[in-house]
Amino acid sequence: AVRSSLTSALTLSNFASQTAERHNVPEIEAQTSPEVLLTPLTIARNENERVLIEPSINSIRISIKIKQADEIEHILVHKFTRFLTQRAESFFILRRKAIK
């Protein structure tokens, strides 16, 4: 379910800003035009394991919540986060920020 949802959400297109001429900003971050924000999708296995996919016409935000029940899982999540962070230059934007 996550793979097919990501495949459909990752069909991005070049979309210039409607507020500033010759600017191309990620609409999921700027949120200046509500008509280009698509419906967010949550895929959850349980309360502690879920993926939130927030697509827009030219960008996507993926939030991952991973179960951390014991010390081993906490270490594995930390290693996984470091793995992604070290490859941040491969992504246009990569932040580690908690969802409110």
Strand 60-65 and strand 41-46: the pairing is unpaired
- Find all residues with CB under 8 Å of 33, minimum gap 6, and list them: 18, 19, 27
Inform me whether the pLDDT recorded for 26 exceeds 90.
no
Q: Give me the phi and psi of 7, to 5 degrees please.
A: -60, -45
Encode pLDDT of 38-77 as tens digits: 889 898 999 888 888 888 888 888 888 888 889 999 999 8
CATH class of 2-67: alpha beta
Per-residue model confidence (pLDDT) at position 94: 60
pLDDT at 99 (0 to 100): 67
Residues whose CB is less than 8 angstroms from the CB of residue 57 and which lie 6 or more positions away in sequence, other chains included: 12, 13, 15, 27, 36, 38
CA distances from 92 to 13, 59, 79, 87 (A): 14, 10, 21, 11
Residue 93, pLDDT > 70, answer no
Give 58's contacts (C-beta < 8 A, 6+ positions apart): 12, 13, 14, 15, 24, 26, 27, 36
